């Protein structure tokens, strides 16, 4: 059966959102007089959702405040989400080339409302069949529940699907769901993370995705 469904991660895969995320978190930390971080540090703070970002960025002696700080962060991110974020070079062309041959979806650990907001702002209407962020009651990637629910909603089997992402949370999610994954190196994490966490294949530029898909 042809693999005709592609499920993309969002942050670090389709969109470079790192500066807006890092600037927002630093804004909150600075407000409380806590240490801030360079943008490069946020490459390893993101990927598991906003609550985990807060846990990684907060001083260890302030973790009791993490729920309140999460609320502050989400409120601030609502003002900052599109200041510097943008699709990576080649992404729009890649998606235009894929849309007539594949069913395209998004599965992100970003809160669902922000995931939908970013997708509707940066991409064409109806480009993606399903857009899904982190939902209450559903575990985050690498747990495969979100992927499995996408399969069910589309009426697709795992044998028809491929996951594309930039972190181990994406490649491990794919492995747990029994589907191949394409790891991308233009995002937030190094190639070594993808190599050691079961990426089926790895690409370095969006133009390489279609040839890679033909081999899966």
CATH topology of domain 5-16+85-213: Rossmann fold (3.40.50)
Reported pTM? 0.97
* pLDDT band (50, 70, 90) for residue 77: very high
Domain 5-16+85-213 matches domain 18-80 at the CATH topology level:
no
State the pLDDT at residue 1.
73
State the pLDDT at residue 29.
98
State the pLDDT at residue 62.
97
pLDDT in tens, 126-172: 999 999 999 999 999 999 999 999 999 999 999 999 999 999 999 99
Written as six digits, the tokens of 161 are 């699907």
State yes or no: pLDDT of 2 exceeds 90.
no
Class of domain 18-80: mainly alpha
pLDDT in tens, 23-71: 999 999 999 999 999 999 999 999 999 999 999 999 999 999 999 999 9
Please report, for the chain, the start and end positions of each structural domain, with discontinuous segments joined by +.
5-16+85-213, 18-80
Handedness of CA 54, 184, 86, 123 (dihedral sign): negative
State yes or no: pLDDT of 101 exceeds 80.
yes
Mean pLDDT of the chain: 97
């Amino acid at each position: 059966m042809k693999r005709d469904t592609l499920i993309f991660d969002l942050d670090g895969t389709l969109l470079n959102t790192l500066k807006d995320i890092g600037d927002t978190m630093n804004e909150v930390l600075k407000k409380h007089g806590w240490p801030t971080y360079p943008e490069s540090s946020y490459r390893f703070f993101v990927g598991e959702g906003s609550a985990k970002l807060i846990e990684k960025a907060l001083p260890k002696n302030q973790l009791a405040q993490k729920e309140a700080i999460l609320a502050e962060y989400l409120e601030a991110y609502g003002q900052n989400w599109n200041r510097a974020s943008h699709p990576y070079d080649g992404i729009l062309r890649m998606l235009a080339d894929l849309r007539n041959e594949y069913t395209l979806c998004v599965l992100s650990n970003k809160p669902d409302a922000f995931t939908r907001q970013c997708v509707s702002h940066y991409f064409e209407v109806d480009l993606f069949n399903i857009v899904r962020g982190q939902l209450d009651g559903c575990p985050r990637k690498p747990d495969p529940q979100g992927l499995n629910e996408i399969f069910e909603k589309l009426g697709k089997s795992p044998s028809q699907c491929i996951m594309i992402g930039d972190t181990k949370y994406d490649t491990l999610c794919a492995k747990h769901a029994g589907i191949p994954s394409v790891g991308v190196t233009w995002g937030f994490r190094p190639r070594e993370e993808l190599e050691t966490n079961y990426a089926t294949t790895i690409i370095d530029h969006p133009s390489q995705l279609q040839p890679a898909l033909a081999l899966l």
